[in-house]
Chains A and B, each alone.
Chain A
Amino acid sequence: MMCPVPLVTTDKVLLGHGSGGKLSAELIESIFLPAFRNPVLERLDDQGVVSIGGAKLAVTTDSFVVKPLFFRGGDIGSLAVHGTVNDLAMGGAQPLFLTVAFILEEGLPMDTLRRVVDSLAGAARAAGVQIITGDTKVVEKGSGDGIFINTTGIGLVPEGVELSASAARPGDCVILSGPIGEHGMAILSEREGLEFETELESDSAALDTLVAAMLATDRRIHTLRDPTRGGVSSSLNEIARQSGVGIEIEESAIPVREAVRGACELLGLDPLYVANEGKLIAMVDAAAAGAVLAAMRSHPLGRDGCVIGSVTAAHPGMVTMRTLLGPSRIVDMLAGDQLPRIC
C-alpha cells in the first residue's frame, strides 16, 4: 500500500518545486489546481484538449530556462520548439502554430539572441509549425539569466484519437522509443564542465512525425508521455497514478547508452530520473504493440524503440522494476532534483 506522504510545508519556493518530482506535483495540487480547477485541467495531461466548432484543439505551454543556452545537440531556441511540439504530439495532435515570448536580460549580446532566434525558426520550419505571435520583455541585468523563452502551441487532434495519461489499462505494453538520459546528462556535463571520453549529446527532437506514424498504424494507443524533467520514472509514476494502474518494468530492457551510463555511474545519478527531450513512452494495447513498435522502429526517432514492461491491475499507483538479479523494487518519484552524492 502507499503511505500517506505529508505535505512539505515550506514558506518559500525551492528549486525542487521545478524538478518535475513530488514537490512539483504538490505545488500543482495545493496551489494551482484549487485556484484554476476545471475538467480539462483536471486531466493533468501535457496538453489541454478542447472542442471548438467541431474541431478538437490541443493547447499547451512551456517555459525554457536552460543553462547553458547552447549545448551539444541543441540550444534553448530549438528546445523551445521541440518541448512544446512534443507536448502537443503526446495528445496525438498535429502541431500547427506556436507563440513565442522572450524574456531577455539587459546586456545580452545581440549575436546570442540572433543565434537563438535562427535556431528557433529553423526548428519550427522543420516541425512544420508557424510562429504566429510573440512578445518581448527586457529585465534589468541580474534579474534574468540571459534568455528565458515561453512557447505556447496549438494543434489539431484527429477524429477518434483520445490519448491521456489517465487512459492506460491493465495488460497494456509499455514501449519506450529509445535510450534514456541523454539530454539531462549532456546539459549537466556542459554546465559543470565535466569531461567524459565519449561526448554526450542532447536527444532534443520534435516527435510529432513519430507519433503520427504510430497512430497511422494502430489507434489502440492509450497513453503517450515524453519523459522530460524527472525522467522516465516520474512519467511512469504520473501515468500509474492518473490511470489508477500499476506499472512493472524490466531493468534489463531499459536502453541506456554507454556514455550516459558512465556519466551517471560517476556522479551517482540514476538514468531513470534524468531528463529526455526526444523520447516518448507509449502505453499500447498488447494486441497492437507489435505493429506499433514496428512502425516506431522504421522511424529515425524510434529506431531503438523497445518494450520495457507492462501495465497491471496490481499495486495501483505504483511503479515497480524487476532488477537484474530478479527481485522487484519500487521505482519512486523523487521529491526534488537528484543531487550528486558525496561518495
Chain B
Amino acid sequence: MKYIDEYRDAKIARALLAGLERKTTRPWVLMEICGGQTHTLMRYGIDTLIPPQIELVHGPGCPVCVTPLEVVDKAIQIASQPEVIFVSYGDMLRVPGSATDLLRVKASGGDVRIAYSPMEAVKIARANPERRVVFFGIGFETTAPANAMAVLQAKREGLRNFSMLVSHVLVPPAISLLLESPANRVQGFIAPGHVCTVMGYWEYEVLSKQYRVPIVVGGFEPVDLIEAIGMLVTQLEEGRAETENQYVRAVSREGNRAAQKVLREVFEVTDRKWRGIGMIPQSGFRLRAEFAEHDAERIFGLADTVVEEPAECISAQVLQGLKKPVDCPAFGVRCTPEHPMGAPMVSAEGACAAYYQYRRDSVKSS
C-alpha cells in the first residue's frame, strides 16, 4: 500500500538506525508529543532498536487521556438525560468518569452513539428534531476543524437541537509548560504530524527560538519516527536548535489555511485544564459567543465540579514525561485496560496502555 509500506520497510529502517548509531555520541532525552507516535514506538519496539544513550519519554498528546475528569463527568450527565442523543468518537466511551463511563450510561438506557465524524451528529440532529443531539468535541488541533465545520453547518441550517461539548486542547502551550518546568529533562521534541497538517509548524519555530530546543515534526510510521529521532540527534550533536519537518508528505510550514480560517471563525483560545497536568493558560479552544446556542456547556448549564484522581495514579508525571508507566506501583496490577485508574491506561494511545499492551512481559521481569 502506497505511503504505508515504504514507511514500514525493515531495510530502510535498518539503514536509518545504523546512521543514528554512528552519529550518537552522548545521552539525549527526547519526547514524542503524540500518543499515536508512542503507540508506534511500542508496537514496533523502536525504543529497543535505537542506541541505548537515547531515552524516549512520552508526551501528553493523547486527546482521550488529557480530557479532564470534570468534562467526562459533564458528558456523562448530559448523555444520561432522556431527550439527549449523545454522539462521540468511540474511544471516549470507555473513559471512566468519577462514577461511571459512557458505555455504562448506554447500557442503562442512555442513547449514546459512536460516530466517525461530527457531521454524522449533524445528520442525526436533522433527522431527530424532537431530540437534543450533543457531540463530544474533544481532541487537539487535528480534530478541531471538522468539529468547527459541524457547528457552522448546524448554525447555517438552523439546527437548534444540535450542540457540542467542547474540550479542545492545543499543543504549543503544553510544550511551553513542559519546558518551563524546573523538572524538565527533555532536550528535543518530536512534534505531532497530524496537528501540524492543520496548523503548520511556524508556531514550533517560535518555541525552538524561545527555548533553544530542537523540534522535528514527525509522522506516525516506524520509518518516520526513526528518521525524526535521527534529525533531532543530528541537531543536538551539532548544537543546533531549530524546527525541522520530517513529515513533508503531509505537512507544510503554513498548514491548512482553509481549516485554520474555520477554526478562527468558530473557536476562540481559552485557558484549559488538562487531565494529569492541571490548568494551562491559553491552551484550548472554546466556542465563540456567536455560537452560544450550540454550546452544550451553556445550554445544559452544568456546574463545574472538582473531582479527585486516585491518589496512587502517577498519570500526571507520566503525561509530563517525568516518569514511565512502569514506574507506577499500580501498573499492570491494580491498573489495567479493563480496570483503569488513570486516563493513560484507558485510551489505546495512552502511554500506560501502550506499555501494557505490547510490553508488560519484559517490563515486569526487568
Contacts and interface: CB of A to CB of B under 8 A. Distances in A.
Given A6-B334, A6-B338, A342-B143, 5 more contacts: A1-B361, A3-B364, A315-B361, A323-B43, A330-B361
Interface of B: 1, 4, 8-10, 13, 36, 42-46, 48-49, 63-64, 89-94, 103-104, 106-108, 114, 116, 138-140, 142-143, 194, 222, 332-334, 336-339, 347-349, 356-361, 364-365
A190 to B, nearest CB: 14
Interface size class of chain A, counting residues whose CB lies under 8 Å from the partner chain:
35 or more
Contacts of A324: 8-10, 44, 222
B338 A341 contact: no
B339 A6 contact: yes
B90 A339 contact: yes
Interface string A288-332: 000000000000000000000000000100101001111111101
A22 B94 CA distance: 15
Interface in A1-40: 1, 3-6, 8, 10, 12-16, 22-23
Contacts of B142: 343
Contacts of B46: 325, 327
A11 to B, nearest CB: 9
B107 A15 contact: yes
Interface of A: 1, 3-6, 8, 10, 12-16, 22-23, 192, 194, 258, 261-262, 265, 267, 315, 318, 320, 323-330, 332, 335-336, 339-343
A194 B116 contact: yes
A325 B1 contact: no
A330 B360 contact: yes
A327 B361 contact: no
28 contacts: A3-B332, A3-B360, A5-B338, A12-B108, A14-B104, A15-B106, A16-B103, A22-B338, A192-B116, A194-B116, A267-B116, A324-B222, A325-B45, A325-B222, A327-B45, A329-B42, A330-B360, A330-B361, A332-B356, A339-B94, A339-B114, A341-B91, A341-B347, A342-B64, A342-B138, A342-B139, A343-B142, A343-B194
The 8 A-B pairs with the shortest beta carbon distances in the complex, nearest first, are A327-B45, A339-B90, A3-B332, A342-B89, A329-B358, A12-B107, A340-B90, A335-B338
Contacts of B114: 339-340
Given A14-B103, A194-B116, A258-B1, A8 B338 contact: yes
B49 A326 contact: yes
B333 A326 contact: no
A4 B45 contact: no
B4 A265 contact: yes
Given A6-B338, A339-B93, A340-B91, A330 B333 contact: no
B126 to A, nearest CB: 15
Contacts of A328: 45
Contact of A318 (B90, B138, B347, B361): B361
Contacts of A8: 338-339
A118 B94 CA distance: 40
A258 B361 CA distance: 32
Contacts of B63: 342-343
A195 to B, nearest CB: 12
Given A6-B334, A8-B338, A192-B116, A343 B10 contact: no
Nearest to B67: A342
A336 B149 CA distance: 32
B100 to A, nearest CB: 10
A343 B1 contact: no
Nearest to A342: B89
Nearest to B139: A342
B170 to A, nearest CB: 14
A323 B64 CA distance: 26
Which of A14, A262, A265 gathers the greatest number of chain B CB atoms within 10 Å?
Answer: A14
A333 to B, nearest CB: 10
Contacts of B356: 332
A326 B10 contact: yes
Nearest to B9: A324
Contacts of B45: 323, 325-329
Contacts of A267: 116
Nearest to A266: B116
A257 to B, nearest CB: 10
Nearest to A23: B338
A315 B142 CA distance: 40
A3 B355 CA distance: 13
B154 to A, nearest CB: 20
A325 B11 CA distance: 8
A332 to B, nearest CB: 5
A335 B337 contact: yes
A342 B92 contact: yes
Contact of A5 (B4, B44, B140, B336): B336
A342 B360 CA distance: 25
Nearest to B136: A342
A269 to B, nearest CB: 10
A144 to B, nearest CB: 17
Contacts of B138: 342
Contacts of A335: 337-338
B107 A13 contact: yes
B91 A15 contact: no
Contacts of A10: 104
